[in-house]
Structure 1
Amino acid sequence: MKEKAVLPKKNQLLILLLIGILLVVIAIPTPGKKKTEEERDGSRTSSKTMDGNYPDSSEEYEEYLENRVARTLEYVEGVGKAEVMITLKSSGQKIIEKDQQNTSQKTDEEDSSGGTRSVQDNTTDKTSIYEQGSDGSQSPYVSKELTPEIAGVVVIADGGDNAVVVQNITEAIQALFGVEAHKIKIMKRTDT
């Protein structure tokens, strides 16, 4: 007995096609300006950090971190008004994408006395990859950017004389930056 294969009808195919198109449209990211915390609450920040990206120079990066940490600590009970100073060990590092080609060649040679010798030749050629800007300029393509490592942190806060507050601030900075406790100094703020 021969069975007849059941094919989907036109309406079912159309529905499947529309579902497929809908899934593709949903998966495509839409460009949109994301508001950073600084834009929402109008807090004190450098205008160069308002676009949501990390600042370019080490000094701007320090200022960016100092402002964020100070603003965050001021929400902690007992801290009060806070000023933060952060020092960096070095500037950040940009990893440039390189196109790498490896070639390997193996040659077996025989000499007149019947002995064989094998020669292996390996070559690696690395070329930087460039991206073209909207103005036609070319710059190396950065595949990864490493942020600078923090050397030390000083926090001057209204509650800097309270042992519990000092412990909370120290633990917060250790959790954020992985800085050892002896590289963190918390002091009482004075009004001058």
Structure 2
Amino acid sequence: MGEKVPKKMNLKEIGIEKIILIAIAGIILLLANFSEWKNAISEKTEKKEEKTVQTDQNDAYVSALENKLVHILENVDGVGRVEVMITLKSSKESVLNKDLSEERQTEQEKNSDTQKTNKNEKRQEETILSDSVGNSAPYVVKELEPEIAGIIISCEGAENKVVAASVLEAAQVLFGVSANHIKVLKMEGAK
């Protein structure tokens, strides 16, 4: 039997119209993929910016707490230099106003005609803030500050058990953290 030889096609057989249609379809597919790719990149960028802002806010919050604690502890009798490190369990949290959804069902019976009437009423309320441009956001009821996971305090004078206990108690009272999440250490070079 004879072998089949593949047929070679030239541009005249395909036709210029078909080539143009194929090229246009290819361009449309490329543009569609480009717009999806662009949207994916912009979403990733927005998420990174949001995480960066949140991290910066957490760092500023922790830094402010550490500075306040250092300032207070340096003024305690028996305590010299102080260094503090605070870690967080979570970031700042916003509590939003929840939507109210209420549903009522009522039934009425008429004895003479033995006819039943059912009524369903639905009521929903949403609290959303809008600006003049038309942007809207949920209503924030309150904001919860980040929860503290642990505190390390390194200070001069911590070798004295009374001073160390005072420092530990001060941190407990200020931050509401249990004693097993606070560690008071003797600062290196302290006499």
Give TM-score, length-normalised by structure 2: 0.58
SS in 1 for 2:70: helix
Q: 1:124 & 1:166 partners in 2: Cα distance? A: 59
Partner of 2:41: none
Residue deviations 1:33-69 (CA, integer Å, cap 9, x gap): xxxxxxxxxxxxxxxxxxxxxx972222111111111
Q: Distance in 2 between matches of 1:124 and 1:71?
A: 54
Describe the SS at the equivalent of 1:170.
Answer: helix
* Larger helix proportion of the pair: 2
Match of 1:183 in 2: 181
1:63 is matched with 63
Relative to the length of structure 1, the TM-score reads 0.58
Q: Which amino acid aligns with 2:174?
A: L
Q: Which residue of 1 aligns with 2:84?
A: 84
Partner of 1:147: 145
Once residues 122 and 180 of structure 1 are traced to their aligned partners in structure 2, the CA distance between those partners, rounded to angstroms, is 50
For 2:138 and 2:78, locate their aligned partners in 1 and report how far apart those are by CA, in whole Å: 48
Q: Secondary structure of 2:171's match?
A: helix
Question: 2:128, 2:136 within 8 Å by CA — same for their partners in 1?
Answer: no
3-state SS in 1 of match to 2:126? strand
Please, which runs of 5 or more residues in structure 2 have no aligned partner? Answer: 1-54
Partners of 1:157 and 1:189 in 2: CA distance: 5
Shift of 1:83: 0.9
Does the 8 Å contact 2:82/2:153 carry over to 1? yes
Deviation at 1:140, TM superposition (A): 3.7
Percent of aligned pairs with the same amino acid: 39
CA RMSD of aligned residues (A): 3.4
Number of equivalences: 136
Q: Secondary structure at the match of 1:59?
A: helix
CA distance in 1 between partners of 2:123 and 2:84 (Å): 48
Unaligned runs of 5+ in 1: 1-54
Alignment match, 1:93 = 93
Aligned to 2:160: 162
DSSP-derived class of the 1:91 partner: coil
